[in-house]
Amino acid sequence: MRLSRYFLPVLKENPAEAQIVSHRLMLRAGMIKQASAGIYSWLPLGFKVLRKLENIVHEEQVRAGHIPMLMPTLQSADLWRESGRYDGYGEEMLRMQDRHGRDMLYSPTAEEMFTDVFRSHVKSYKDLPLTLYQIQWKFRDEIRPRFGVMRGREFLMKDGYNFDLTKEDALHAYNRHLVSYLRTYERMGLQAIPMRADSGPIGGDYTHEFLVLAETGESEVFYDAEITDLKFGDREIDYDNVDQCQAILEEFTSRYARTDETHDEAVFNEVPEDRRRVARGIEVGQIFYFGTQYSEALNATVQTPDGSSVPVHMGSHGIGVSRLLGAIIEASHDDKGIIWPEGVTPFHCGIVNLKQGDDEADAACEALYKSLTALGLEPLYDDRNERAGGKFASMDLIGLPWRITVGPRGLKNGVVEVTCRRSGESEEMPPEQAVAKIAGIYAGL
Ligand code: 5CA
């Protein structure tokens, strides 16, 4: 993309309404614009990162054997009356009527819809196990929407629902989700720690939240510092392997890690004192096993091998996709701006032309742009007729992890400069080598 032809409305001033750094940087970098309280328009740069996050989530869900589909955002109240949640959900549910006076709502989550699809089409244990999921907008009329996309009213969520014959099978689905979430967050450059939590309006008593540690997090968390040494890495996973998934769950959840809702001071005090941590975290996902709560209410049953009919065991599993943008920025920025992890960056690298209009510099930039693009990479070429200082500031603000700087002086010696956004370190090298270096960084990502 050439910056002169892109739409990147960066702000010079700090927006007054933003209380936390991720919100401020998303506004300044031209990623989002508030439409009304807790509701945002996604400008091109923000939309690009959102799509990248969605892709990672899809890839990891499909890898785990889960099946994508899409539910409507506007749902009839009847189904929610059947499950008993229509009255119980409270003020957070946005309710409306259509022209015929029928009660409708904007889905805050989708247990009912998925259970309804399931009960209409699945009748036999032979069709199990089954996990269906979607990435779809949700609406919760939060009492205090704040911190930009972190606590929005409209937000993008991946929500998945497993249907299993037995509790044992459903717990395997739970473990499988935990493992796939660990992989998902790590690919986004995040450490998200599974913590024992409270199930809230979803129900059930088996649940973990995934938290990214950050000072600005809304949840208070208590954990054993050893947890932060755990890395998922690139281990081979067989998601059908019950023992392997169980072992990984135990590895990542056996140490003390709880949100304030489930915190137990006495148990916490058994952790050696030098490893006890009290901190804050951003909840980027949550998994639940709730048994037959919804399948009984909505009569979602299957025939067992002996011909009897039983309600299926279920769980649901959510990732806050739009919230993740904020979480990643909270975890990865400096005083100049965002620092995108390579796995989610909107463009793979920036190209800064120090002297736009200089034939040699222009030609070198064009050649770099073409070579990178031919390799399937997406550079953002700052071809505007602006001062170098302004170009650097914009690149730093929007946070591309690598920058190639091209100027007449370097070109005389046959070199361009490659700069790492995170370390700030620069290296001079011939343009072909710069292309190879950037390609090497992204190979396999
Ligand atoms: N049905 C279940 C799982 S599919 C469910 O709704 N779970 S949840 O309530 O925990 O939401 C899943 C994730 O959505 C949360 O972990 C959080 O990351 C994200 N989320 C929840 N509320 C908001 C909000 N107001 N703004 C942004 N993200 C949110």
Judgement on whether residues 207 and 229 belong to the same structural domain of the protein:
yes
Q: What is the pLDDT of residues 127-170, one digit of tens each?
A: 999 999 999 999 999 999 999 999 999 999 999 999 999 999 99
Residue 344 lies in a domain: no
| Amino acid 200: pLDDT | 77
**pLDDT category, 185, cuts 50, 70, 90?**
very high
Q: What is the pLDDT of residues 369-425, one digit of tens each?
A: 999 999 999 999 999 999 999 999 999 999 999 999 999 999 999 999 999 999 999
Contact call for residues 161 and 177 (beta carbons, < 8 A): no
d(CA 302, CA 166): 11
- What tokens does 34 get? 């508030």
Domain boundary among 309, 338, 367: 338
Q: How many angstroms does the Cα of residue 152 sit away from the middle of ligand 1? A: 10
Q: How many angstroms does the Cα of residue 320 sit away from the middle of ligand 1? A: 5
**pLDDT category, 199, cuts 50, 70, 90?**
confident
Atom of ligand 1 at shortest distance to CA of 287? Answer: 3
| Residue of the CA atom closest to atom 5 of ligand 1 | 318
Residue 157 lies in a domain: yes
Q: How many angstroms does the Cα of residue 336 sit away from the middle of ligand 1? A: 30
Q: How many domains does the chain have?
A: 2
Q: What is the pLDDT of residues 2-54, one digit of tens each?
A: 999 999 999 988 998 899 999 999 999 999 999 999 999 999 999 999 999 99
Domain hosting residue 409, numbered range: 349-443
Judgement on whether residues 12 and 134 belong to the same structural domain of the protein:
yes
Judgement on whether residues 136 and 275 belong to the same structural domain of the protein:
yes
Judgement on whether residues 98 and 55 belong to the same structural domain of the protein:
yes
Atom of ligand 1 at shortest distance to CA of 157? Answer: 14
- Residue range 244-255: mean pLDDT, rounded: 96
- Residue range 330-344: mean pLDDT, rounded: 97
d(CA 180, CA 428): 40
- Using the Cα atoms of residue 59, residue 193, residue 329 and residue 287 in order, give the sign of their dihedral: positive
Judgement on whether residues 331 and 409 belong to the same structural domain of the protein:
no
Atom of ligand 1 at shortest distance to CA of 210? Answer: 16
DSSP H or E stretch at residue 393:
helix 388-398
Judgement on whether residues 320 and 385 belong to the same structural domain of the protein:
no
Judgement on whether residues 353 and 331 belong to the same structural domain of the protein:
no
The CATH number of whichever domain residue 90 belongs to comes to 3.30.930.10
Residue 297 lies in a domain: yes
Atom of ligand 1 at shortest distance to CA of 160? Answer: 4
Average model confidence (pLDDT) across the chain: 96
Judgement on whether residues 168 and 258 belong to the same structural domain of the protein:
yes
Q: How many angstroms does the Cα of residue 17 sit away from the middle of ligand 1? A: 24
Atom of ligand 1 at shortest distance to CA of 161? Answer: 4
Q: How many angstroms does the Cα of residue 202 sit away from the middle of ligand 1? A: 10
Judgement on whether residues 213 and 277 belong to the same structural domain of the protein:
yes
Residue 175 lies in a domain: yes
Q: What is the percent of the chain with per-residue pLDDT over 90, rounded to a whole number?
A: 96
Q: What is the pLDDT of residues 339-364, one digit of tens each?
A: 999 999 999 999 999 999 999 999 99
Contact call for residues 209 and 262 (beta carbons, < 8 A): no
| Residue of the CA atom closest to atom 11 of ligand 1 | 318
* Among 415, 408, 442, CA closest to 430: 415
| Amino acid 201: pLDDT | 73
Residue 343 lies in a domain: no
C-alpha to C-alpha distances, 60 to 24, 57, 170, 182, 239, nearest whole angstrom: 30, 5, 19, 10, 11
158-181 burial, b at 16+ Cβ within 10 Å, e below that, comes to bbbbbbbbeeebbbbbbbbbbbbb
Domain boundary among 287, 304, 338: 338
| pTM strictly above 0.85 | yes
Residue 151 lies in a domain: yes
Residue 424 lies in a domain: yes
- What tokens does 168 get? 């044992």
The CATH number of whichever domain residue 437 belongs to comes to 3.40.50.800
Residue 99 lies in a domain: yes
Ligand 1 residue neighbourhood (C-beta within 6 Å) = 109, 111, 140, 142, 151-152, 155, 157, 159, 202, 283-286, 316-318, 320, 322-323
List Cβ neighbours of 220 (8 Å cut-off, separation of 6 or more): 259, 260, 263, 278, 279, 280
| Amino acid 444: pLDDT | 80
Atom of ligand 1 at shortest distance to CA of 288? Answer: 3
Domain boundary among 338, 362, 384: 338
Judgement on whether residues 155 and 298 belong to the same structural domain of the protein:
yes
pLDDT at 198 over 90: no
pLDDT at 180 over 90: yes
| Amino acid 237: pLDDT | 96
- Using the Cα atoms of residue 275, residue 279, residue 331 and residue 427 in order, give the sign of their dihedral: negative
d(CA 16, CA 11): 12
d(CA 26, CA 18): 10
Which of 20, 149, 157 most suits a substitution to test ligand 1, by most atoms within 8 Å of the C-beta? 157
Q: How many angstroms does the Cα of residue 207 sit away from the middle of ligand 1? A: 13
Which of 91, 181, 286, 293 most suits a substitution to test ligand 1, by most atoms within 8 Å of the C-beta? 286
Q: What is the pLDDT of residues 71-87, one digit of tens each?
A: 999 999 999 999 999 99
- The region of weakest confidence among 100-104, 205-209, 317-321 is 205-209
Judgement on whether residues 221 and 202 belong to the same structural domain of the protein:
yes
What's the DSSP call for residue 15? P
pLDDT at 445 over 90: no
pLDDT at 211 over 90: yes
Q: What is the pLDDT of residues 303-321, one digit of tens each?
A: 999 999 999 999 999 999 9
* Separation of CA 217 from chain center: 15
Judgement on whether residues 237 and 363 belong to the same structural domain of the protein:
no
| Amino acid 411: pLDDT | 98
Q: How many angstroms does the Cα of residue 155 sit away from the middle of ligand 1? A: 9
Q: Are strands 379-382 and 349-353 parallel, antiparallel or unpaired?
A: parallel
Cβ neighbourhood burial of 214 (10 Å; 0-12, 13-18, 19+): buried
| Amino acid 5: pLDDT | 97
Matching residue, tokens 């004192």: 273
